[in-house]
A and B are shown apart, each in its own frame.
Chain A
Amino acid sequence: MSDRFLNVDPTRCVGHGLCAEILPEAIALDDWGFPIIASTPLPRWLRRQGARARSVCPALALSLDGQPSRKGPPPAPSTRVGAGGETAGASSRPH
């Protein structure tokens, strides 16, 4: 079976974090309680839980698709390179 990606429609999600309780292995919450989902395929062993999270979401915001919904890298990412004394690499996504 082909790769499956768990995607969230951010315009629907109301951010109470039920999904992260069901699937903490793949969903983290940001500082405002909205889900951060890896843009890598959902591991096979988590697919059943992924489907559960999707059906539990009260906002119908989650979907399992053939591709990640993120639109690739942003237009002109600045990196921390050159920041006085700061470490590089902070532009990687937490999670």
Chain B
Amino acid sequence: MMALDRERAAGAPAEEGGVGALRLLAGPRGGAAEPFAQHRQRLGGPISQVLRGTAPGHLLEAITGSGLRGRGGAGFPAATKLAAALKRGVSGVVVVGNGTETEPAAGKDDLLLRLRPHLVLDGLETVSVATRAERSFLVVPSQAAWRSVTAALDDRPRHGPKVEPVLGPRNFVGGEETALVSWLEGGPARPRYQRQRLLERGWRGRPTLVQNVETLAHLGLVARFGPEWFRTLGTAEEPGTMMVSLSGAVGRPGVYEVPIGIRISSLLEEAGADPAAAALLVGGYFGSWLLPAQVAGAELSRRALAPLGASPGAGVLHLLAAGACGLKEAHLVVDWMARQSAQQCGPCRLGLPALAGAMGDLAQPWARGRDVSDRIWRWSDQVLGRGACRHPDGVVNLIRSTLLAFADELERHRRGHCNGGAPSTLPLPGLG
């Protein structure tokens, strides 16, 4: 790959073992943003210095070699999108850093933008300079993140196109990339039906590259320290670290940075998890449940979780308290998610509320389980893949996982019993 790897890796962020600050969160402790001077000193110079010596082709090689995958949920290879944006003849590219983070149980993008804005800006600049972008947007989830990014931009020398920070929408589907493009055009944050990819036709018709802000932060570090360095943590298939937003029945909830492939149980232990917890929701409100026996040996990677019907998604984990009823909790989430529909597509607008109602039936003791769950399977089949965006698919995933994981609970409900009396801890805020 790159000849300078070894040398470059010398200044790479410190890697402590175990769970904790590894790469993105390495550096100063505390709740303030790392100033540019410190960032530059810690990483061995401004990113502009690195970019001046790196041709776009070399950057693409490094990103390809790193195996970096998107951290916004779907795990798409970053190199594939960059390659499309660098293709000969593609001009007038628009780059969007997606820090919308509308998932209520998530907090990692906000934290990253508040504490390490320069890492994200390094990545955004790297991509913007390489693609010779016309515009470069950075969508942030909160006022605090906006202030942090604005201050960071004043604090650093400008390189490449001017970065435009934008406060993102707060509706759940607003973080979906076509919804975000609409928002950045001044329209509503509603997904669009598009037969072309955004890289063919995005913001005001221009080729648009949307990348999660955590993905960008990793990408900037790969540009500095090279693919071999990047691969020293994580798994061969899914290299690097990932940010995890952990909440629920844990003593120390919050954002953790862990190597991909870490044992989930060691993360939970570190966070002071209740050993008697009922289940773990992995992948947030589009995610899947793991029961304690499954959590015990599971590793946090796409590959390891796939056989369990789960995926790390955007790194949102929620531990369900002992004594909580998974059927009740899932009903609350599905009901909330049904209301988050952009109300454009029939199967989503009508199917999700119907599914939420049926999930509500299952959550009651004396539920006529067999009939209702047959109906849920039928409707979830009908809804899957039929929206303009993936919102209904994600909800269907959670519903199916609920029926599978809590089959015993369902049986108890059928006989008139419910074990769950504990109050819900899942965050379900009022509509945004």
Contacts and interface: CB of A to CB of B under 8 A. Distances in A.
B309 A78 contact: yes
Interface residues of A, number: 38
Nearest to A10: B345
Taking chain B's interface residues, is the majority helix, strand, or loop, or is none over half, making it mixed? helix
Interface in A24-63: 30-34, 36, 39, 63
B381 interface: yes
A50 B274 CA distance: 58
B188 to A, nearest CB: 12
A78 B403 CA distance: 10
Measured as residues with beta carbon below 8 angstroms from the partner, the interface class of chain B is: 35 or more
A76 B313 contact: yes
Contact of B388 (A10, A14, A80, A90): A10
A91 B400 CA distance: 10
Given A74-B384, A75-B394, A77-B397, 19 more contacts: A10-B345, A30-B347, A30-B351, A31-B379, A32-B350, A32-B354, A34-B346, A34-B350, A70-B385, A76-B310, A76-B311, A76-B313, A78-B397, A78-B401, A79-B309, A83-B403, A84-B407, A90-B377, A91-B400
A12 B404 contact: no
A93 B385 contact: yes
A79 B283 CA distance: 16
Nearest to A7: B195
Taking chain A's interface residues, is the majority helix, strand, or loop, or is none over half, making it mixed? loop
Contacts of B393: 74-75
A9 B381 contact: no
Nearest to B345: A10
B384 A76 contact: no
18 contacts: A11-B193, A11-B388, A30-B351, A30-B383, A30-B386, A31-B382, A34-B346, A69-B193, A71-B390, A75-B286, A75-B393, A75-B394, A76-B287, A76-B288, A76-B305, A81-B309, A84-B408, A86-B377
Nearest to B410: A84
